Each structure stands twice: as C-alpha cells, then as structure tokens.
Amino acid sequence: MPSMMRCASVLVLAALAACAATAQQPSMITIEKHQDTRIPVAVPPFATADAGLRAASEEMAQTVADDLLFAGVFAIIPRNMYPANFAGFTSDLKSIDFPAWRAAGAQNLVYGLVLQEGGQLVGQFRLFDLVSNNQVYGQEVRVAQGSQRLAAHRFSEEVIRYLDAVAGAGTSEIVFTGISGKTKEIYVADYDGANAKKLTDHGSVSIKPKVSPDGNQIAYLSYKDRYSFLYVLDRRSGKSTVLSKEVGLNSSPSWSPDGKRLAMTLSKDGNTEIYLRNPDGSNPVRLTRNKDGDTSPCFSPDGSKIVFVSDRAGKPQVFVMDADGGNQTRISFHGGNAYDPVWSPDGKRIAFVSEVKGEGFEIYVMNPDGSNATQLTNSNGINESPSWSPDSRHVIFSSSRGGASALFAVNVTTGQETRIPKMTLPAEGPSWGPRRR
C-alpha cells in the first residue's frame, strides 16, 4: 500500500472510532480488544430504478455491511464520511467518483444494482479496489422475491473470500433452543438472528440441538415423551424420529462429517459412555469402557478423531480418541474443569468451556494437541454450548451474563464479542449450521 493510502487508512479508522456513537453504523456493534487493523470499506445503499425495490436495495446494502463488519476483517465507512457530492448510486458506473471515495478513507467500495426479472430479485454486485480504481470482483445473484437478505449474504461471503482468503458465513443458519416461560422449543434463524422460525412444537422441553453437515437434519434432546430421549428432526418433512430411548441418560449427540453416524452419551450399561449409532438409531457401537464418566463427544472435521470429556483424571477434562475408540489421550491441562469441546471446521482448534475458580464458566480455545489454551470470554458468568461458524472465524455460545440466556459470538482472532443482534427471544444451546446453497 502506498504511504499516503496507509495514512488515510489509519486516519479513517480513528475517525470511525470517534464517530461511532453518532454516525449511522451497521446494526452489529462490537468491541475491539486489539489494535484496529481492519480494511476500511464503503457500502452505500444500492441502486435501483424500481421504486418498489428501494427498501429491498437498502436492506441488501445494510446486510452486506453487517456481514463484512461481523467478519472482523473490515471497518465500514459511516454515512457522515461519504463524499459530499455523493447523491446515491445509479446504473451508470461511470458516475462513480473513485478519487472522492478514496479521499473519504475507503480502500474498497461495494456497488450494487437491484432489478426484478421474471419474478426473481436480481442483485448485480461489484467490488472496486480504490487504489487501482478497478473492479476486482463481480457477481450476479438471483433469488426469489423476498429473499434479498440471502442474495446479500451470498455476495458478502465472496467479498470476504476475495479479500481474506476464506469465504464468510453470511448464508449460514443457527439452530438453537428458544425459551418461552417453561417451554423450550427448537428454532432456526439466520446467523445474525433474523428470520427466526420454530421447528418443533412439542409443548415441552427440547434442548441441545445439533445440525447435520448438510443442514437438513437436527439431532436434539427432548422431554416430550416424559423422559430425556434423543430424536432426529428432518427439516424437509418436519417429522421427528427416535434416535435413542434407552433407560438412563441419553444426551450429547454429535454428527459424523459424512452425516451417516452420530456419537452420543448413554448410561444404559450403568455408566455414562460414548456410543455410535445411525441416524435412525440402528447399528449401535460402544466406544468407551471406563469406570468414570465419558460424555460430550465431537468428531474432528475429517472424521478420524473424536474429542470428548472424561472424569477419569479426577475432574472433567478434555480427551481425544480415534473414531473407533482407540488411543484415548488427555489433552486439556489449563488448570480448571473442562466441558463441551467442539472442533473447528478447519481442524485447527478446539473450543471448550472452562470452569476456573473465581472466573465462572468461560469459553476457551486450544490447539488439537491441547497446546496454547486461550481464554476468549471474561464475563464471570455462565458461558456455555460453544459452536463454530463454518468459516472457523467465530464461536457462538449462550450466556446468562445479562440475566436471561442470550446468544453471543466471539471472533477467535480479534477477540470481538457480539451479542447476536436480531435475536428477539431468550435462547440457549446454539448449533451453527453450514452455508446454504
């Protein structure tokens, strides 16, 4: 980057921090814990010649801006720093004043044109590099009417991929337990909490959902038949089938990467052990045989390993074993109790819950061999049920730090914590699903 551009970037990031309280910002507000090295990006409202699409075009631009901000790689130029001569995008690309946007401190500019063709909503998106004044990425997205957020998410994922090597998680969904009085049901929503939809209606307590690798099935625990049994919900049919109704504990389902098997915790043989089953409950295989409790299994992304929790060290600690149960080895030595381990999709880290005296329950990450254990949260509350975003940039979790349980996400690189902004009901036990096609 030329020195002048580098200085402009530093100045605009300082200005962003100074005007955050008064300028119009994307709806996700985060707290920086490290030096701000984000890329300044401008995402003005998108152009449209159709007055009926004006609200959708503005929502699409806001959604792209929110996605970029959430990724932790970008800072969004607020509207009060737009060029003085900017009156809105048009369909004429020659009207874009690139030097003026560069002078406003942006390194990149996102342009969008929203159309309606054949009953579909069409977004024509472009990413410009303001150093060279060249288009560096373009994409046309066609979606059903009313799916403008999905179109924006698809584009934002590719912008993030272009500028930071790994696609974003905009099109992904989260599955979670929504709480209403004494009733708990399974819900699904966009990753930012928008478009929440109830998936079960058991009128009971249904918790701890786990999304299958293709996003079409959800394993969960429910008391709908009086006792705590495991079920699998097919999202396409809406039908729930039994996964395990054994005597004793049925808990902690975890999908294999190919979606053909689930690991789980059962106590049917007198002790909590880890077992494998098919999604229809058939072909059971016992993996652990230990006098102490073994629970909370989670497959590695390649399916060769399973991380789990065991009491065999005298207190709950994280262990790893081969997928057939062999080579069981302790990997957590950070000084506290450890729970709920979950492997990142890129295989590079394991998130878990740590209970350390005086700290409460906090979210940590470590390398797969247990090294470099790092604390991510510091709320002195109960933070639990970690789950990774499909791009491995974030861990979502539930926290009671504000009283009622709510969902938060933390960026594992920057330490930014974000309360899921569009979530309107108390929620717990999140599971982050794959990107949507």
Residue whose pair of structure tokens reads 């009128």 in the numeric block? 203
DSSP assignment string, 149-216:
HHHHHHHHHHHHHHHHSS---TT-EEEEEEEETTEEEEEEEETTSTT-EE----SSBEEEEEE-TTSS
Would you say residue 39 has pLDDT above 80? yes
pTM exceeds 0.85, yes or no: yes
Structural domain total, the chain: 2
Edge-to-edge strands, sheet with 317-322: 294-299, 305-310, 317-322, 329-330
What are the angstrom distances between the C-alpha of 193 and each of 50, 190, 221, 355? Answer: 29, 5, 22, 28
Which of 389, 436, 431 lies closest to 254, judged by CA? Answer: 431
Q: Which of 135, 164, 193 is the last residue of a domain?
A: 164
Which CATH number covers residue 347? Answer: 2.120.10.30
Q: What is the mean pLDDT of residues 20-31?
A: 38
Look at residue 31 in the predicted model and tell me its pLDDT. Answer: 39
177 in the same domain as 139: no
Query: Is residue 279 domain-resident?
Result: yes
Please say which residue of 97, 130, 164 terminates a domain.
Answer: 164
> What is the reported pLDDT for 358?
73
288 and 317 housed in the same domain: yes
The confidence score (pLDDT) of residue 36 equals 74
Name the one residue in this structure whose structure tokens are 């998410």. 153
Same domain, 159 and 218: no
**Does some domain include residue 125?**
yes
193 and 63 fall within a common domain: no
Domain boundary among 164, 189, 222: 164
- Say what the pLDDT of residue 113 is: 98
Same structural domain, 123 and 185: no
193: in domain: yes
Lowest mean pLDDT segment, chosen from 147-161, 186-200, 350-364: 350-364
Higher confidence at residue 57 or residue 12? 57
CA atoms within 13 A on the CB side of 176: 34
**Lowest mean pLDDT across 65-69, 402-406, 410-414:** 402-406
- Residue 309, SS3? strand
Query: For residue 139, is it within any domain?
Result: yes
Q: 105-118 pLDDT, tens per residue?
A: 999 999 999 999 98
Are the C-beta atoms of 162 and 76 separated by less than 8 Å? no
- Which of 23-32, 122-131, 265-274, 324-333 has the lowest average pLDDT? 23-32
C-beta separation of 239 from 217 below 8 A: no
CATH of the domain at 138: 3.40.50.10070
Tokens of 278: 């098919």
Give residue-wise pLDDT tens across range 345-385: 999 999 999 998 777 899 999 999 999 999 999 987 899 99
Average pLDDT in the chain: 91
Kindly report, residue by residue over 65-111, the tens digit of the pLDDT. Answer: 999 999 999 999 999 999 999 999 999 999 999 999 999 999 999 99
What average pLDDT score do residues 117-136 get? 96
Q: Range of 276's domain? A: 173-432
Q: What angle do CA 86, 87, 93 make, to 5 degrees?
A: 75
182 shares a domain with 158: no
pLDDT at residue 235 is higher than 70? yes
Let me know whether 67 and 129 are in one domain. Answer: yes
d(CA 21, CA 172): 29
